[in-house]
Amino acid sequence: MARPARPPADTPDSDLSRFVDLIRSTIPPIHPAGLPFVGAGLGVAALGGRKRWLRTAGLTAAGACAAFFRHPSRTPPSRPGVVVAPADGQVTLIDEAVPPPELNLSDQPLPRISIFMSVFDAHVQRAPVAGEVVTVKYKRGLFLSADKDEASEDNERNSIWLRTESGHDVAATQIAGLLARRIVCNTHPGETLELGQTYGLIRFGSRLDTYLPVGSAIEVEIGQRAVCGETVLAELPPAPTAEPQR
């Protein structure tokens, strides 16, 4: 009678694989936009030679940049018809406002949710809904503190307009802040984004405004912490119906 097969014994390779998986799950990867900054810090440390203070400064800068540009893994909700947070941070404003005029989305006020990112938050941006990218528009502007109300209108910004499969229009605006000097957007009109898919980053700043269809049910409160790609900001209204032809 054949003996039951024994499970394979652990090998050094399997132990190493588990250790690597543990590191990956604990230490998030770095967004590609941050690699030059991390590399610059390591370069300073390498060139420091016997100057301990210079090596320390370089390694500290590299570590700070690696933390700032971290790109943690996120799992979007499976519930249909929801809008997720496009950024980590604190919900600082819930109101109604006209979307950025350069989008040509609407000249009527729409529900708006603003998320403020501190320097300690991950600064990648993710798609608040799944859908087709209709428009991407960049506008030069000022670099006021992003927590000010006028920052939405006056600051440098980049806006995307997404249209869901059900016909809902949602806009997300990356807004530079007092320390932010570079907005990165890696999507273009005609592309399709999945819910929670990374599409951009703001270097060293600062605020994300999300514009929702009228009738959306807001599910967050001012002061609440939002997790990019996971926190549900709102539930979309019923799918719009086409007007009957006359």
Complete domains list, the chain, with CATH: 12-68 (no CATH), 82-235 (2.70.70.10)
Is the Cβ–Cβ distance between 168 and 210 less than 8 Å? no
Catalytic residues: 206
Query: Residue 186: what pLDDT?
Result: 92
Sites in the chain below the pLDDT cut of 70: 1-28, 30-38, 40-42, 44-45, 49, 58, 60-71, 142-152, 177-181, 204-205, 240-246
Taking the CA of residue 167 as centre, how many other CA atoms within 13 Å lie in the half-sphere pointing to its CB? 7
Query: Residue 194: what pLDDT?
Result: 96
Q: Rounded distance, CA 12 to CA 23, Å?
A: 16
Query: Residue 113: what pLDDT?
Result: 97
Query: Residue 244: what pLDDT?
Result: 44
Query: Residue 246: what pLDDT?
Result: 45
Report the predicted TM-score, pTM, of the whole model to 2 decimal places: 0.76
